[in-house]
Amino acid sequence: MSSSDVPETGALLSVRKLTKLFGSFAACRDIDLDVKPGEIHALLGENGAGKSTLVKMLFGVLEPSDGDILWQGNPVSIGSPGEARKLGIGMVFQHFSLFEALTVAENIALSLDDSIPIGRIAEEAASLSRAYGLPLDPNAHVADLSVGERQRIEIVRALLQNPKLIILDEPTSVLTPQEADRLFETLFKLRSEGRSVLYISHRLEEVQRICQRATVLRHGKVTGSCDPRRETAASLARMMVGSDVATVTHIGRGEPGGVQFEVSDLSVPPRTPFAMSLKNVSLTVRAGQVLAIAGVAGNGQSELFDAVSGEYPVAADETIKIRGRSVGRKGISARRLLGAGFVPEERHGHAAVSAMKLSDNLVLARSQSDRKAFLGGGFFNVIRKGAVMQAARRICEAMDVRKSGDDPAAGSLSGGNLQKFIVGRELDRQPEILVVNQPTWGVDAGAASRIRQALVDLARSGSAVLVISQDLDEIFEVATDIAVISEGRLSSAFPAGELTREKIGLLMGGLHETKAQAGAAYAH
């Protein structure tokens, strides 16, 4: 980009008094923002603060209600993502916009304005993914890919368009630390070329590491800006929420209770050519215990959750036991009836039906026994809407779920608020066992703290909690015991106090010995 392209203000992108109304609700109000050439600019705020609404206006997904967008000093109207891309704006959304029945290359082709042979797209995508350390098979079908691999498609697809400004909404939420490091190297290279990055993340340490400026939103308004390199994670979080973020009070590792959940020598063949097989997985979770499973994305986490939740029953009934009862061949409803609760990693379409109201999603997730509390008497057993709404309000109050109406569609909530509702929906049942996959993916510091504390409190009350997470900070914050999954194999569980990040790194690399053998390896 030449110096003549840069306006007198020095900004590549400016917004002035930008406002977006949904009825009487202001998702964004009078936003002012400048993004300069060659800078990585953080956009910070709680879930529901207006960040996603703002960037959707910049990318042509939403039309502003008022205000101006200036590109290189000139007022522009961005009516569609295609128009945004023509200007030089690329975007990676937090929630994937991929067609599962198509291949990686075919999904990338759909976002390109020019007609390019699919073979050439596949070659360029493969080359770019290798260069940036985000390995992808261009011929793989999206339906067969893990969440982490799907995120790589979004990042590669945006980079292929050679943007002047790239907007990244939670790009590292499903990346390993090593993958995130490679992404940061890519961003530094883009910055050195004079390109700009508008970066949304709830991981404040990475904001401090890579961003030169930060703009903070709260309740749809700009409340301040700063140089994040001169702040601490705690001070940035305080700017976002308006108060100190609560510290999770750890349960400690006391004497565990009886076995509530048990997996014995579980082996599951891959369901597709691109899936991971599970190999002789065994684990035990006792009352009062939080067992956390760490691992790099795509190493069998999804397959393990599917097996233990009953989404894909396994061949041998005795392989999985809930409170002493064999359930390997039983489905989710039967396992819920035994006191288990489950939270999958994908919020939209898996944990919740986006187009349905929160109250309806609540009823859908309850087992037949649980639903009795919502049914009236008589022959037809009509659902008592008042009882359902009372339960939904109770969940929203307990988890501080922020929403635009009394009973909105699940898809209208921000990602973090929907996650709080989904976790709260399971906690409201007071399950004896809770299995949760990526509990705080893409949520802000305040919401993450609330969810993690809820998991700890559930274990403290005597339940068994199994957490599958890629966030090592989260794992050390909530776990009493930690195991690591790698290439479909699960390590022994270690007391959390005996493990460091380095030791977990060894296990992630495939060290599957016994505790004694692993301890000897660590000592050397």
Q: Based on the fold, state whether residues 92 and 157 are members of the same structural domain.
A: yes
Q: Based on the fold, state whether residues 327 and 214 are members of the same structural domain.
A: no
Asked if the structure places residue 74 within a domain, the reply is yes
For residue 147, what pLDDT band results from cuts at 50, 70 and 90? low
Q: Which two tokens stand for residue 296?
A: 């790099």
**241, 269, 293 — which closes off a domain?**
241
Q: Based on the fold, state whether residues 182 and 305 are members of the same structural domain.
A: no
For residue 149, what pLDDT band results from cuts at 50, 70 and 90? confident
For residue 44, what pLDDT band results from cuts at 50, 70 and 90? very high
Statement: residue 1 has pLDDT above 70: no
Asked if the structure places residue 376 within a domain, the reply is no
Statement: residue 310 has pLDDT above 70: yes
For residue 350, what pLDDT band results from cuts at 50, 70 and 90? confident
The sign of the CA dihedral 70, 71, 75, 79 is negative
Statement: residue 126 has pLDDT above 50: yes
Asked if the structure places residue 381 within a domain, the reply is no
For residue 514, what pLDDT band results from cuts at 50, 70 and 90? very low
* Percentage of the chain lying above the pLDDT 90 cut: 53
> What is the pLDDT averaged over residues 455-464?
94
> What is the pLDDT averaged over residues 331-335?
92
Instruction: Output phi, psi for 74, to 5 deg.
Output: -110, 135
Asked if the structure places residue 307 within a domain, the reply is yes
Q: How deeply is 359 buried, as exposed, middle or buried, from its count of CB atoms within 10 A (0-12, 13-18, 19+)?
A: buried
What is the rounded average pLDDT for all residues in the chain?
A: 86
Asked if the structure places residue 130 within a domain, the reply is yes
> What is the pLDDT averaged over residues 280-308?
92
The residue behind tokens 């090593």 is 178
Q: Based on the fold, state whether residues 290 and 168 are members of the same structural domain.
A: no
Is pTM beyond 0.95? Reply is no
> What is the pLDDT averaged over residues 117-141?
88
What's residue 170's pLDDT?
A: 83
Could you give the angle at the alpha carbon of 22 between the alpha carbons of 18 and 24, nearest 5°?
100
What's residue 177's pLDDT?
A: 67
Q: Note the pLDDT tens digit of each residue in 364-407.
A: 887 666 666 676 655 445 677 888 899 999 999 999 888 878 89
Statement: residue 175 has pLDDT above 70: no
For residue 246, what pLDDT band results from cuts at 50, 70 and 90? low
Statement: residue 221 has pLDDT above 80: yes
Asked if the structure places residue 404 within a domain, the reply is no
Q: Based on the fold, state whether residues 174 and 323 are members of the same structural domain.
A: no
Range of the structural domain that residue 51 is part of: 3-241
What's residue 322's pLDDT?
A: 97
Measure Cα distances from 153 to 90, 101, 140, 158, 361 in Å. Answer: 14, 14, 11, 9, 30
For residue 96, what pLDDT band results from cuts at 50, 70 and 90? confident
User: Rounded to whole angstroms, how far apart are CA atoms 267 and 262?
Assistant: 14
What's residue 7's pLDDT?
A: 42
Asked if the structure places residue 364 within a domain, the reply is no
Q: How deeply is 433 buried, as exposed, middle or buried, from its count of CB atoms within 10 A (0-12, 13-18, 19+)?
A: buried
| Overall domain count for the chain | 2
Q: Which residue has the higher pLDDT, 81 or 145?
A: 81
What's residue 208's pLDDT?
A: 95
Q: Based on the fold, state whether residues 328 and 215 are members of the same structural domain.
A: no
Q: Based on the fold, state whether residues 100 and 127 are members of the same structural domain.
A: yes
> What is the pLDDT averaged over residues 513-524?
43
Asked if the structure places residue 458 within a domain, the reply is yes
Who's near 312: CB < 8 A, 6+ residues apart? 268, 271, 306
Statement: residue 61 has pLDDT above 90: yes
Q: Based on the fold, state whether residues 153 and 297 are members of the same structural domain.
A: no
What's residue 330's pLDDT?
A: 95
Q: Based on the fold, state whether residues 70 and 115 are members of the same structural domain.
A: yes
Q: For position 211, which CATH number holds?
A: 3.40.50.300
Q: Based on the fold, state whether residues 103 and 149 are members of the same structural domain.
A: yes
Is 42 within 8 Å of 237 (Cβ atoms)? no
